[in-house]
Amino acid sequence: MSAVPVVSCVGVTKRFESLTAVDRLDLDIPAGIVFGYLGPNGAGKTTTIRMIMGLARPTSGSLALFGVDPASPRNADVRMRVGYLPGELRLDEKLTSGEQLEHWARLRGPTSVDATYRDALVDRLGLALDRPVRTLSTGNRRKVGLVGAFMSRPELLVLDEPTSGLDPLMQQEFLSMVDEVRAEGRTVLLSSHVLSEVERLADRVVVLRAGQMVLDGAVPELQRQALQKLTATFNGAPPVAELEGLAAVTDVTVDGATVTCRITGPVHPVLDVLARHRVEAITAPQREIEDAFLDLYDTSGSPEQPNGADT
Amino acid sequence: MIGGKEVVVHAHRRLRRGALIWAGVLLALIFSVMAAWPGFRDSETGVLTDDLPTAVTRAFGLSDLGDPAGFLDSNLFSLVLPLLLICVAVAWANGLTAGDEDAGRLEVELSLPVTRAGLMVRRFIVAAGWLVGLGVVVVLGLLVAMPALDLDASLARTMGATAAVVLLAILHGAVYYCAAGLGAPRNQALGIAGGVAGAGYVLRSLLPLSEPLEPVEVVSPWYWLLGDGPVQHGVPIGGAVLALVMVGVLLMVGNWGLTRRDIRPA
């Protein structure tokens, strides 16, 4: 495996007039991992991906794909190593699914696609190759895009909201496909709103907020960042004042004899309080990536961009 | 470029059906216009137009209607045929460049190992090839209609006039290509190409109605290629060369812009 990062961003900024879509992003994606790229609409995920694909240029900073500038016409061949599924996939309405895939395969070159592997993908996703693209549902169009991205066995897969519109069975099939890619030592850049999907697949996660990276780490680290929720039901009046008095406790809510709170630090002071009262039941669910994600956004209000554009 | 042949084949497939329809339209136009020739030949139209100022007869394509070459210039090559072929050229350039970009179809296409300029120039060349094909259809239509209706005009000049009209259309397609390459969305690029076509026609045909404004016609592509009537007086060679150079310059400027800007997302 090459020591050169598959993707490298150094101080990458992208501005659209007064809007800063991506702000001084430093990022390295090593080979062989599934890289989760998270953030709400307008955070800058799609803009970053489009710069990686050479479809947009950074306003400042430098970006390299397999060590070269992806936007330079001299480096068009580097895209032979990449499979891309855009968030907004638009197909040629005059073609059938099969013709669209053939067209993409020929643009990659005559020997770039293993027809057996492509047909296996088509079977797995249940795609009808003879159906005109214009008659396909959103989910089936997505399947065409997925087969198109995977079929050349690229070293890097760049997938922007890949399961949008897919039914749960196909979502499971997609997870298996990504697992196989990882097992083969290839790299996946996965941008998704489906946090469970990222949690299940990603080796490393970066979270963007308003164009800036707010978190970069492995999924367990992100889970550890999530505040621990705790729900306790008392036989009698709950010790609300005592819990609220603890520095590590936030968001205390009371529903009859049940108290729910979030714990930001060590748990033992909370347990000490609970031990002094008659607790009937305690629930402390496993920390989820979704909680960490929401916590990150709760701290600074809406991260949406001013014009609401999907950047 | 990897996949260059596929770009050509795919663009060809996209235009084929429309090209066949346009070929039918052009043949219908030629036969309907030519059907009027016996009436003009036998009428005293020349007497009527002789009394009009030269500038007016030229502006409205009325010169020498009783003469075979004048009839062809007036009824086909002065406005109708150029206008139709310019519409075809701009529509095709739109479909293959800014129209495709605005529809979001370039997003995947340009993520493949193709260069932007390589993709777009090949598409433009395919469209230009189909326009030449339409020119051949026009010539074939005239070859059938002229002897059948006893219209005795120079075949070489008629073919030259057709080539000039095709080149005029390609030039306007290149104007669209340049605007789209520099980043104009489809409506803006359509406006620019349409504006150039309209302004070119006005500069060549209407402004010269005023004698002091007559010299401005030299900046019009219509004047470069159609001169004072391509069948009557021949196609100005210098103008044709200038138009070819302009096509090359417009393509280069379009490619320069295309490779330096962002591709618009869907």
A19 near B CB under 8 A: no
DSSP A134: G
Nearest to A148 among B2, B108, B118 (CB): B108
pLDDT in the model for residue A61:
96
Give the helix/strand (H/E) hosting A98: helix A97-108
Q: Note whether B105 contacts A108, CB cutoff 8 Å.
A: no
Spell out the alpha helix ranges (H) of chain B. 4-34, 37-42, 45-50, 54-59, 68-72, 80-96, 98-102, 106-109, 116-148, 155-181, 186-201, 221-226, 230-233, 237-260
Chain A residues touching B183 at Cβ < 8 A:
none
pLDDT along chain A (311 residues), means of 10: 83 94 95 92 92 96 96 93 95 95 93 92 95 95 97 96 91 95 96 84 91 87 76 92 89 92 85 91 77 67 42 57
Chain A from 41 to 60: CB within 8 A of any B CB: 46, 50, 53-57
CA pair distance A210, A194, nearest whole angstrom: 19
What is the chain B residue with the closest CA to A144?
Answer: B108
CB A35 within 8 A of CB A204: yes
Token readout for B141 is 């239509």
Chain A to chain B Cβ contacts (< 8 Å): 89
DSSP-derived 3-state class of residue B162: helix
Closest residue by Cα to residue A231 from A215, A211, A249, A217: A249
Of the residues B17, B107, B115, B255, the best mutation for testing chain A's interface (the one with the most A CB atoms within 10 Å of its CB) is B107
Residue carrying structure tokens 């609401």: A308
Please, is A44 exposed, middle or buried when counting C-beta atoms within 10 Å of its C-beta (0-12, 13-18, 19+)? buried
pLDDT in the model for residue A289:
67
pLDDT along chain B (266 residues), means of 10: 89 95 96 89 66 66 76 92 97 96 94 95 98 98 93 93 98 98 96 96 81 82 93 94 98 97 92
pTM listed for this prediction: 0.86
Strands, DSSP E only, in chain A? 7-16, 19-29, 34-38, 60-65, 82-85, 156-160, 187-191, 204-209, 212-217, 228-234, 249-255, 258-263, 279-283
Buried-exposed string A151-190: b where 16+ CB fall within 10 A, e elsewhere: bbebbbbbbbbbbbebeeebbebbeebbeebbeeebbbbb
CA pair distance B144, B123, nearest whole angstrom: 32
A80 near B CB under 8 A: yes
A224 near B CB under 8 A: no
Token readout for A48 is 């970053």
